[in-house]
Chain A
Amino acid sequence: MSNEHAESVKMVKLILKTTLWLSIITIVEIVAAVLLTDLFVKNNMLIVLNSFYIIMSLAKAFFIVSVFMHMKFEVKFLALTVLIPMGFLLFAVITMLAEGNSWLEMRNY
């Protein structure tokens, strides 16, 4: 019983630690968006800031799925059947952004 209790306390600690990380990342993102956007636009380096947002959002997604949704504690095959289909989205993102870019060229033509 006490062993189970210790495990429960450990899990709650992990949950709170994850919450802290999610909050820190979100605060850093917002501070960057409010204070640094102009600076990066001026130096033509907005892509750096945007890559930062995308990587941080993926990190947040990882924390939510692995800890909050307990994926970390599921059988690995279950995780794979959920995650592998997401690979198709990478294809869709690349294709559709390239397509959007060519619409821009057609608009300007």
Chain B
Amino acid sequence: MMAEATLTTTAVSPSRWNGGRSPFKVSWGKLMMWYFLVGDSFSFASFLITYGALRFSYESWPAPTDVFSSFPFLEGVKLPLMFVSFMTFTLIMSSVTMVLAVHYGNHEMNRKKVVKWLSLTILGGIIFLGSQAWEWTHLIVDEHMTLSQNPFGAPAFGWLFFTITGFHGFHVLTGVVINCIVTAKVARGDYDRKGSYEMVEKIGLYWHFVDLVWVFVFMAFYLL
């Protein structure tokens, strides 16, 4: 009797906000991942805005084409921005492989394809981290850049570069670790048993966010 009454009410007023279903048509986990990313984008924004404020406070700022002009195994050759272009493409491509993994999980529940694309994503993340390790080593060992001073100009440049790319690199690292765990769970068949590949989608959101942040870190340090 009671249930019938409720049904009639829903039929009369089909608002999404009357309860009983998700008004945003998403699961709790996915919604919370979105809101976590909102918070995380504020952390990155505060870093980048600090960068902007300090940069505006100096008369001159190191030119990116001078600072970032080295390439591994090619000592003495000036190749401005070429190595960071390689890093950027690695990250874009790993985002593409991730979106394909999410796609084949949601649409086909195809375990083999998901494992394949997730593994390629992990590979892309590891290549990016390795490249960043080389770049840092080069700047610290060869150019003697530290947190408080650098040979290129404004002293704050080193502090900002290491903290911001470091914070981003740490996100990539945690992304790689989480991807490894989820790949293992996919391979074991956990999500087939559960009947949903949504976990791949949730870590996918995190991974794309890391790529998204790189767009702005790249813009701030290597282009502007």
Say if A and B assemble together.
yes
How many residues belonging to A are interface residues under a CB distance threshold of 8 Å?
48
Choose among A34, A50, A81, A99 the residue that contacts B224 (Cβ–Cβ < 8 A). Answer: A50
Choose among B65, B107, B218, B224 the residue that contacts A4 (Cβ–Cβ < 8 A). Answer: B107
B103 touches A11 (CB 8 A): yes
A60 touches B215 (CB 8 A): yes
Q: Is the interface of A mostly helix, strand, loop or mixed?
A: helix
Interface with A: B2-10, B49-57, B145-153, which one? B49-57
Q: Which of A16, A50, A99, A100 has the most chain B CB atoms closer than 10 A to its own CB?
A: A100
B88 contacts chain A at the CB level, 8 A cutoff: yes
A92 touches B49 (CB 8 A): yes
- Using a Cβ cutoff of 8 Å, how many contacts connect chains A and B? 131
Choose among B24, B57, B205 the residue that contacts A107 (Cβ–Cβ < 8 A). Answer: B57
Q: What are 19 pairs between A and B in contact, CB < 8 Å?
A: A11-B107, A15-B100, A19-B96, A29-B223, A30-B81, A33-B81, A33-B223, A57-B223, A64-B208, A65-B212, A68-B96, A75-B26, A78-B24, A81-B35, A82-B38, A97-B52, A100-B52, A100-B57, A101-B57
Instruction: Supply 10 further A-B pairs (C-beta < 8 A) apart from A15-B96, A23-B89, A107-B59.
Output: A12-B100, A23-B92, A29-B223, A37-B63, A68-B99, A74-B25, A92-B49, A99-B53, A103-B57, A107-B58
